[in-house]
Amino acid sequence: MSNKNFRQFKGEIENYLNKEQNNISLKIDDCLSDLKTKTLLCKSNIFKKDGFHAAHLLFVLLIMPLIKVKTVCGFCEKHWTQWSESRKDTLYRFKKNASYRWRSFMFKINREILQDTKDTPQKERCFVVDDTILQKTGKQIENTSYVYDHNLGRSVLGFCVAALGLFTPNGFYVLDFAYRFSKRRHDKSPEKIGDKRKSSGQRSFEAKHYTKLQLALQMIQRAVNCGILPGYVLFDSWYAWPCLINGIRGINKTMHVVCRLKQSNVKYLYNGKPYTLKELYRRIKKQLKKDKRTGLFLKRVTVKMPDSDEDVVIVFSRGYHEPELNEKVKGKKKKKKSKWAAFLSTDTHIHASTIIRIYIKRWAVEVCFKECKQMLYLGKEQSNNFEAQVFSTTASFLIYNLLNCLNEKENHATLGRLFEHLSDEFMAVSYARRLWDFFSGLFMVSLSTIFELFKINEDFHEYFDVLTTAVQNSQLFQGCET
C-alpha cells in the first residue's frame, strides 16, 4: 500500500459525531463518573477542604474549550450557573495550586480509560514520542525561554513540551508530557525552579536540568512502571540517537524501536566496517527495488547498533513523503525535500514495508498537537503562574483523551465533527437555560401575585416546583452534576 494514501491524515476530533443529538455535558459527566474521577483526584492529593469539590471545578475547566471560552474570567462573565456557581478566584486558585499531582492523576485516569485495550495484542500498541512548541507573547510568564521552532525555522518565546502518546487500534491517547527550558531567557521572564523531590517543583526542575532525550526516556520508564507496555516506540529523526534507542531496549526487551534516521556522524557496522548513514546509502543505492506493497523503492540491510552488540535493520527508501496537515504557516521556511529516507527497526523479523507502515502511525501525535492547539486551547493559558500553565496543558490533553474514550464507548467508526457538534450543543443548552431563568422569575412573580390577590392560603412554591419539574424533563434543559 502506497504511503501517498496517508498524506491527508484527518484528525480524530475533526471527524466525529454528526449523528446523535444528546446533551454532551451529560456524556462527559457520565464519563468522568465511570472513570471514578473523584477517587482518583483524592489519591493524587487533589482535593479541597471546603467549598466546591475538586471534581466539579475540574469538570468546569475541561468543558470551557467546548463552549469556546478561552479564560476563566470569560466563563464567569457569562453567568452560566447551570454548570457552576463558582467564582473566578476559586477557579484560579484551583489552577495555581502547587501541591496538586497532575502527572499522577493523568496516569491513573488513563489507566482507567485504557482498561478495554488490555486484550489488544502488544504489537498493535505503540508509544509515540514527539515535542511541540507553545509560543507565548507574555514576557512575564514564569520560566518562559527562547526555544527553536522547526516549523518556523527560528526561535520564539515560549515553552517546549515533549509528549508521550499511546497509539491503539481504537485511538490515540496522551499519557505524559514534560517541559523543556532553554538557557536563553528574556530579561523580564522570571525563573521559578522548584525541588525535584516535590510535585510542585518536579516539572520545572527536570525542564531545566534534563535534555529532551532524557525526558523521553523517563516518560517511557514511568509508563512501563504503570503497567502500559507497547510493542513499538516510534519517533522522528530528531530523537534517533543511539543513547535513546539503547536506553529503550534496556527498559524491556519486548519493546522495539521504529524511527526515522537523520544524516549524522553516527556510524553503523555493516559487513565488519563502520559507515555513516550517507556512506551506507551510497554503497547500496543501486540495489533499491520497487516494493509492491508501498510502491516505494526499498532496500533492507542489517547492521550493528553503535554502543551495542544488537543487530538492527535499516530500510532505505526513495520516493517516501511525510503525511501533510494541509495548513500554511506564515513565515515558515521551505524545506528541501530529501531524495531518500532511512528508517531503523530493532525488530529484525518484520518486512521492510511493514517498518514504514508502523512508522506512519507516529503521525497521530502531530494531528493531536494540531487539534489540541486549534480546538482545545493548548498553549493559550494567559496566567503568568507556571503551575497554571502545567494545569492548562494537562487539561487540553485530558479532554482529548476523554473525547476518544467517548468515541470508543459509542462505537463510532470515525470521530466525525466532534468539536463543532459539542460546541453547538453547549451553546444551545446555555441559551435555553438563560431563557428558562428569565421565565422562571416571571412565573415566580406571577404566582406570588395571583395567590396574594385571591387570598389563597396554600404555598405557591409547590405549584412552581411542579412546573419546574415538567420543564426539566425536556433534555434540552437538563444540567450536569459532577
Exposure string for 103-132, b = 16+ CB within 10 A, e = fewer: bbbbbbbbeebbeebeeeeeeebbbbbbbb
Query: Closest Cα to residue 341, out of 238, 433, 262?
Result: 262
In DSSP terms, 269 is beta-bridged to 274, 304
pLDDT of amino acid 94:
93
What's the rounded Cα separation, in Å, for the pair 421 and 427? Answer: 10
Q: Which residue has the higher pLDDT, 334 or 184?
A: 184
Q: Which residue has the higher pLDDT, 474 or 121?
A: 121
Q: Which three cell numbers stand for residue 83?
A: 454548570
pLDDT of amino acid 51:
86
Indicate the SS3 state at residue 157: strand
Task: Judge contact between 342 and 316, C-beta under 8 A.
Answer: yes
Q: Which three cell numbers stand for residue 20?
A: 446523535
**Measured between alpha carbons, how far apart are the two ends of the chain, in Å?**
47
398-419 residue pLDDT tens: 999 998 888 777 654 344 344 5
Amino acid type, 71: T
Q: Which residue has the higher pLDDT, 13 or 471?
A: 471
Query: Closest Cα to residue 286, out of 312, 256, 318, 239?
Result: 318
Which pTM value belongs to this model? 0.80
> Beta strands of 170-227 (E only): which ranges?
171-180
pLDDT of amino acid 241:
95
Percent of the chain with pLDDT over 70: 78
What's the rounded Cα separation, in Å, for the pair 128 and 167? Answer: 7
75-108 residue pLDDT tens: 888 777 667 788 889 999 999 998 899 999 999 9
Query: Mean per-residue pLDDT for 152-158?
Result: 90
Q: Which three cell numbers stand for residue 77?
A: 462573565
pLDDT of amino acid 27:
77
Q: Which residue has the higher pLDDT, 424 or 41?
A: 41
Query: Closest Cα to residue 135, out of 157, 105, 104?
Result: 157
Amino acid type, 247: G
What's the rounded Cα separation, in Å, for the pair 70 and 24? Answer: 19
Task: Judge contact between 428 and 208, C-beta under 8 A.
Answer: no
Residue 133: CB atoms within 10 A of its CB come to 20
pLDDT of amino acid 344:
96
What are φ and ψ of residue 231, in 5° steps? -90, -35
Task: Judge contact between 361 and 373, C-beta under 8 A.
Answer: no
pLDDT of amino acid 399:
92
Q: Is the pLDDT of residue 225 over 70?
A: yes
What's the rounded Cα separation, in Å, for the pair 103 and 387? Answer: 12
Q: Which residue has the higher pLDDT, 476 or 328?
A: 328
Q: Which residue has the higher pLDDT, 215 or 330?
A: 215
What's the rounded Cα separation, in Å, for the pair 166 and 359? Answer: 13
